Amino acid sequence: MEKLITAYTYIGEGKVVVNKQLIFYQEKIATFAEFIKALYKQEQISYPKFYKMDSLSKLGFMCAELLLRHEKPGRFKPGSLAVVLANSSSSLETDLTYQDSIKNRSAYFPSPSVFVYTLANIVIGEICIRHSLKGENAFLVSEKFNPRQLLDHVSDLLDNNRAGACICGWVEILGNTFKAMVALVEKENDGTLKTSFGSMPFTEASLNELMNLTEKSIWKN
C-alpha cells in the first residue's frame, strides 16, 4: 500500500512554508520567542494555552496547527491519527532554564510549570490535547535528522493499521536556533488523495527534500 505525504509545514531560516507556499518570513530573527509570537499573531490563532508552553512545544504546536487547520473536522477518526516526532536536543532548552532555577540554594525556585516541560514528548501531549488525538505517539532522539528511523516506525503504524494517518517530523530548538519539518502521512487506498503540491511518496528522499526546502527553493512559486 502506498503512503503519501499530503501536507507539510517547514520552519527554518526565518521562513515558514506550508504545502509549498511561503506564508511567513522574518529576515532577521532576534529571538525565537518574537518569531513564533509574530507567526501566531499573523495566523490569527486563538489558543491561550499557547503562551504557557515552552519553546519546543510552541514550535511543534505551530507546525501541527498550520498542518491541520484546513482539515475538515472528523476527517480523522478518534485514535486514528498518530504523532511521531524527533529531534537532537530533546528538551535541553527547557532543561537549562530549569537547572538555573535550582543552581543556587539561597535562591531556589524550582517551578512545576517549567519542570513538566523538561520532557521531550510534552510537545506531543500539547498537540494531542489541541487536536484530540488519542492514538499512537512516540518521541525519538537522534544526533542528526534520521529519516530512516521515522520511516520505519511510521510505516509500521500505517501498514499494520495501528493508525490511519500520522503526523511526523523533526522539531529542534536550542536557544535561538530552531528548525522544524512536520508532515502529514496518509495511506493511498483508492487514488483519491489530492494535494496542492503534486504527489509526494512517503520516502527517505521526500523527507530529506522537505528538511532541505530552502536549499532546494521549491517553495518559490
Partner 1 sequence: MKTVYTVSENIISSLGFTARENAVSLSGGATGIKLHNDPKLYAQPVPLSLVDTARLEQNFEAILGKYKKDNKPGFYTRLEKMLILSVADALAGTPVRPENEKVLLLLSTTKGNIDLLEDRFTAKFDHKRIYLWAVANILKDFFGFINMPLIISNACISGVMALIVASRLIRSGKYQTAVVAGGDIATEFVISGFQSFQALSPEPCKPFDLHRTGLSLGEGCGTIVLSSTGPEGANSGILLMGGSVSNDANHISGPSRTGEELSMAIDAAIGESGSLNRDIDYISAHGTATPYNDEMESKAISLSKLNDVPVNSYKGYWGHTLGASGLMESAALITCMKSNRLIKSAGFETPGVSERINVITETIQKPLDTCLKIASGFGGCNAALVFQKT
Residues in contact with 217: Cβ distance below 8 Å, sequence separation at least 6, in sequence order: none
48 binds partner 1 (CB under 8 A): no
Residue from 14, 31, 34, 116 in contact with partner 1 (CB under 8 A): 116
Say how far apart CA 127 and CA 205 lie, in whole Å: 26
Asked if residue 22 lies in contact with residue 16, where contact means CB atoms within 8 angstroms, the answer is yes
Give the 3-state secondary structure of residue 32: helix
Say how far apart CA 218 and CA 39 lie, in whole Å: 21
Kindly indicate which of the ranges 147-155, 165-173, 184-192, 204-212 contains the residues binding partner 1, using the contact rule CB under 8 A. 147-155
Map residues 62-101 to x or -, x wherever contact with partner 1 holds by CB under 8 A.
Answer: -----------------x---x----xxx-x--xx-xx--
The site for partner 1, by CB under 8 A, has a size of 50
- Which helix (H) or strand (E) element contains residue 137? strand 137-141
When the beta carbons of 154 and 213 are compared against partner 1, the nearer one is: 154
20 binds partner 1 (CB under 8 A): no
133 binds partner 1 (CB under 8 A): yes
64: nearest Cα among 205, 144, 168, 174: 168
Report the relative pairing of strands 81-87 and 137-141 from DSSP bridges: parallel
When the beta carbons of 125 and 200 are compared against partner 1, the nearer one is: 125
Say how far apart CA 84 and CA 35 lie, in whole Å: 24
Rg of the chain over all Cα atoms, to the nearest angstrom: 17
Residue from 26, 80, 142, 195 in contact with partner 1 (CB under 8 A): 142
46 phi, psi to nearest 5 deg: -125, 100
When the beta carbons of 147 and 200 are compared against partner 1, the nearer one is: 147
Residue from 136, 168, 206, 210 in contact with partner 1 (CB under 8 A): 136
When the beta carbons of 25 and 47 are compared against partner 1, the nearer one is: 47
122 binds partner 1 (CB under 8 A): yes
Per-residue DSSP letter, 15: E
Interface residues with partner 1 (CB under 8 A) are 79, 83, 88-90, 92, 95-96, 98-99, 102-103, 105, 108, 110-112, 115-116, 118-122, 124-126, 128-129, 131-143, 146, 149, 152-153, 156, 159-160, 162
